[in-house]
Chains A and B, each alone.
Chain A
Amino acid sequence: MILVAHNLFLIHEFVIFIAFYLSIAYLGKIRDISYYAYGGLILIPITFLSAFDNLIFFMVVTIYYYLIRKLWKQKYLKRNFELLALLEGIAINIVSTFFSSYLIKDVIQPRLNIRLTYNISLEIILYDVVLAILLTVVMTWVVNFYNKKITISNSTEVTILNTELTFFIIIILLVIKWFFSIKMLSQLSNIVLLVIFAQFILTLFVTLVAVKKYRKRNEMIVLKKQMKIMSLYNHEIEQNYQEMRKFKHDLKNILSSLKINNQESNSYLKKVEQYLHPFQNKKIDHIINLENLKLQSLKMLIITKIMDAKAKGITIAFECIRPVESINLNEVDLNRIIGILFDNAIEATQNTTDKEIHILVIKHNDSVEFTIENSFSGEVNLDKIKKLGYTTKQNNQGIGLSNLSRLVDKYMQLSFAQYVENKLFVSTLIIEDK
């Protein structure tokens, strides 16, 4: 296109415009007949325009495209996507035509030994057109593949891509135009090539960084939303559970009361009781007042660990009889400590016959206590456990304990003890309010 004005040159521009127009349709998945009809309508004048000036040509194409696709009417996502197709089409057009003429002039022509005359032969134009179309097809295919790879459904990512592409196109066009205006293009085509390449890499890089940053932020938002849903869900479960307990409690009371009042004629009552017996004694999880634990992240941790323990066949009891609004400890460290204690407890119960863990959160007047009791097998040696990271062969009470000691030592308000009572291994952590 940037060779010399010639009649043949118009044909060259004509064919390449068709390829350009179709590549946009392909990338934008545009199948409306109107798009092609509008294309046909503009075919002749736009050919002249593209032979006249590249920059104006692309501007007109953009406006025309905007009008025929009624982009302002489209939904945000679709608009972004069609705009992306246009920008990609333009970029492909610029790169492919430049490359084809570069290849013809600097690579093929000298080899073919065609004499460089002022009137460029049909042959050269033909080579150029074929090459440009070939390049357009290949690049369109690659770009389409790339579009599928990135999550094109995400409008923000497409916006980022669109911005980058616009910059890419404008810079390349300006560079080419400037070189053309100072009549240096033929001599400096290598430099243009370099600029295109560098700009392309830069665009890719910037897009990648921007997309990554965006995704990270997006993930955080999603996570926060999930946390919120989770806590709502927790709340609901807690309430259901509470109601269930209350119901069972009332039922039992009513039955007892009835039984006492009708000592003589209670054969029917006995039947009712017998019927209800399996339901009444059905063991529901011993989880008492989970709603009293107001620290969301800790509650999540405990719920997760309870699920984990239950999956391992451990009977769990959780109790928090008084509301715990806040704890005088960095939340991250608190969760780490409780996590370690819980993991140790789960580990220790593994070899026991009646696997059992009790988690007690007790609010005292000026402190909060966490007590975890677990069944264990074999002998425990408290003195050795106290030493950093000690692990016995039978029960791994020591896993993570070195981390735990470090954490406990870090804070003045913490005191920690482990002991054995009624065949249970007990770990107690006390956090003073001060």
Chain B
Amino acid sequence: MKIPVLLCDDDNNLLNYYKDKIQEIINTENFQAQIIQVSTNAEQVIETLKNDLIDGGIYFLDIELASGKNGIDLAEKINQLDSEANIIFLTSYEEYAIYTLQREIKPLDFIVKSSEKEQEQLVRALKNATQKNNKEAVMAIKVLNRKIKIKLSDIFFIETSAEPHKVILHGKNIQYPFYASMKNLENKGYGLVRVHESFLINPENIESIDFTKRKIYFNKRIYCFFSAAKLRLVKKLFK
């Protein structure tokens, strides 16, 4: 099945330009995607989403849509209607509230309009969007009011914290505190292994093990401990 692609920009010229460009990339790169809608109006996009259930669509949105609604509101609406949406923002300049967008919308990409790297960026974004749909296993957690999806392959280990019921997830460039029970996380089928009363590790990411100090390293600096009782288990994991 081809992934639906939708475009929304208030400038008709630019809209047509990007439509052609994206079509060209889909054809040459042979991506499994199809442009199903091009519009200058945010309402039309929402209308389409409400009528046809789209799951995991690719959306190219102009951030500063002129017609009242801005790209962020539209993106939020899209996220509500299509939880697997791949949103790619088209922006005239790296001047918009990109940091807020990154937090709020978690867009797949930003493309700066008519920059030299535009072609490259479009290809990359489409590639990521089409590949992302080959569903990679993720863990969904909630940090305050924000739902965060973490690829299992990014997780190093989860440890208990000083605060009851709160655990801390360590991973590649991430550290999240969230509320969960170690037991639940262990049994949820994420493939995490309990190597200590306080540590739940992802065996896929072990880099090395120091058996004398009973430390498991995930990179040069990040490590956790394992208990003596779990020695045999750890040895088996690291084979």
Q: Which residues of A contact B (CB under 8 A)?
A: 245, 248-249, 252-253, 255-257, 259-261, 280, 286, 288-289, 317, 319, 321, 358, 360, 362, 364, 367, 369, 371, 373, 379-380, 382-383, 386-387, 415-423, 428, 430
In the complex, residue of chain A having the shortest beta-carbon distance to the beta carbon of B221: A379
B99:A386 contact, CB within 8 angstroms? no
Q: Which residues of B contact A255 (CB under 8 A)?
A: 114
B27: min CB distance to chain A, Å: 19
Q: Mind listing 21 A-B residue pairs with CB under 8 Å?
A: A249-B92, A249-B93, A252-B92, A252-B93, A252-B113, A256-B113, A259-B114, A260-B114, A288-B96, A319-B100, A362-B100, A364-B145, A386-B163, A417-B144, A419-B174, A419-B176, A420-B174, A420-B176, A428-B146, A430-B144, A430-B145
* B207 CB within 8 Å of chain A: no
B14:A415 contact, CB within 8 angstroms? no
Q: Which residues of A contact B97 (CB under 8 A)?
A: 288-289, 319, 321, 360
In the complex, residue of chain A having the shortest beta-carbon distance to the beta carbon of B222: A379
* B185 CB within 8 Å of chain A: no
A257:B145 contact, CB within 8 angstroms? no
B13:A286 contact, CB within 8 angstroms? no
Q: Which residues of B contact A257 (CB under 8 A)?
A: 11, 13-14
A371:B161 contact, CB within 8 angstroms? no
In the complex, residue of chain B having the shortest beta-carbon distance to the beta carbon of A424: B173
In the complex, residue of chain A having the shortest beta-carbon distance to the beta carbon of B112: A252
B72:A321 contact, CB within 8 angstroms? yes
Partner of A286, one of B95, B103, B159, B221: B95
Q: Which residues of B contact A369 (CB under 8 A)?
A: 145
A421:B163 contact, CB within 8 angstroms? no
A383:B168 contact, CB within 8 angstroms? yes
A325: min CB distance to chain B, Å: 18
Contact with A along B184-215 (1 / 0, CB 8 A): 00000000000000000000000000000000
A249: min CB distance to chain B, Å: 5
B167: min CB distance to chain A, Å: 10
Contact with A along B174-187 (1 / 0, CB 8 A): 11110000000000
Partner of B162, one of A256, A387, A419: A387
* B136 CB within 8 Å of chain A: no
Q: Which residues of A contact B96 (CB under 8 A)?
A: 288
Q: Which residues of B contact A (CB under 8 A)?
A: 11, 13-14, 17, 64, 72, 92-93, 95-97, 99-100, 103-104, 113-114, 143-146, 159, 161-163, 168, 173-177, 221-222
Q: Lowest 7 CB-CB distances: which A-B pairs, in order?
A: A420-B175, A256-B114, A319-B97, A358-B99, A319-B100, A288-B97, A383-B161
Other A-B pairs, 4, CB within 8 Å; known A289-B97, A367-B145 = A248-B93, A383-B162, A383-B168, A419-B174
Q: Which residues of B contact A419 (CB under 8 A)?
A: 143, 174-177
In the complex, residue of chain A having the shortest beta-carbon distance to the beta carbon of B12: A257
A321:B113 contact, CB within 8 angstroms? no
Q: Which residues of A contact B72 (CB under 8 A)?
A: 321
A383:B174 contact, CB within 8 angstroms? no
Q: Which residues of B contact A288 (CB under 8 A)?
A: 95-97, 100
CA of A245 to CA of B93, assembled, Å: 9
B114:A418 contact, CB within 8 angstroms? no
B103:A382 contact, CB within 8 angstroms? no
B96: min CB distance to chain A, Å: 7
CA of A430 to CA of B145, assembled, Å: 8
CA of A252 to CA of B175, assembled, Å: 39
A382:B168 contact, CB within 8 angstroms? yes
**With A249-B93, A317-B99, A358-B99 known to touch, is A382 a contact of B177 (CB < 8 Å)?**
yes
A253:B168 contact, CB within 8 angstroms? no
- Most chain A beta-carbon contacts within 10 A, residue among B100, B103, B222: B100
Q: Which residues of B contact A379 (CB under 8 A)?
A: 221-222
Q: Which residues of B contact A245 (CB under 8 A)?
A: 95
**With A249-B92, A256-B14 known to touch, is A321 a contact of B175 (CB < 8 Å)?**
no
B144:A415 contact, CB within 8 angstroms? yes
Partner of B100, one of A253, A321, A386: A321
CA of A92 to CA of B76, assembled, Å: 81
CA of A184 to CA of B46, assembled, Å: 104
B17: min CB distance to chain A, Å: 5
A21: min CB distance to chain B, Å: 75
B179: min CB distance to chain A, Å: 10
A423:B161 contact, CB within 8 angstroms? no
In the complex, residue of chain A having the shortest beta-carbon distance to the beta carbon of B159: A383
CA of A248 to CA of B92, assembled, Å: 9
- Most chain A beta-carbon contacts within 10 A, residue among B92, B104, B175: B175
B138: min CB distance to chain A, Å: 15
**With A417-B177, A419-B174, A422-B173 known to touch, is A253 a contact of B11 (CB < 8 Å)?**
yes
Q: Which residues of B contact A422 (CB under 8 A)?
A: 173-174
- Most chain B beta-carbon contacts within 10 A, residue among A261, A280, A362, A416: A362
In the complex, residue of chain A having the shortest beta-carbon distance to the beta carbon of B95: A245
A421:B173 contact, CB within 8 angstroms? yes
Q: Which residues of A contact B161 (CB under 8 A)?
A: 382-383, 386
**With A255-B114, A260-B13 known to touch, is A386 a contact of B173 (CB < 8 Å)?**
no
In the complex, residue of chain B having the shortest beta-carbon distance to the beta carbon of A367: B145
In the complex, residue of chain B having the shortest beta-carbon distance to the beta carbon of A261: B13
CA of A421 to CA of B103, assembled, Å: 11
A371:B145 contact, CB within 8 angstroms? no
In the complex, residue of chain A having the shortest beta-carbon distance to the beta carbon of B161: A383
CA of A373 to CA of B13, assembled, Å: 37
CA of A6 to CA of B209, assembled, Å: 117
- Most chain B beta-carbon contacts within 10 A, residue among A288, A367, A379, A419: A419
CA of A95 to CA of B152, assembled, Å: 93
B182: min CB distance to chain A, Å: 14
Q: Which residues of B contact A371 (CB under 8 A)?
A: 103
B113: min CB distance to chain A, Å: 6
Partner of A260, one of B17, B174, B176: B17
In the complex, residue of chain A having the shortest beta-carbon distance to the beta carbon of B94: A286
Q: Which residues of B contact A364 (CB under 8 A)?
A: 145
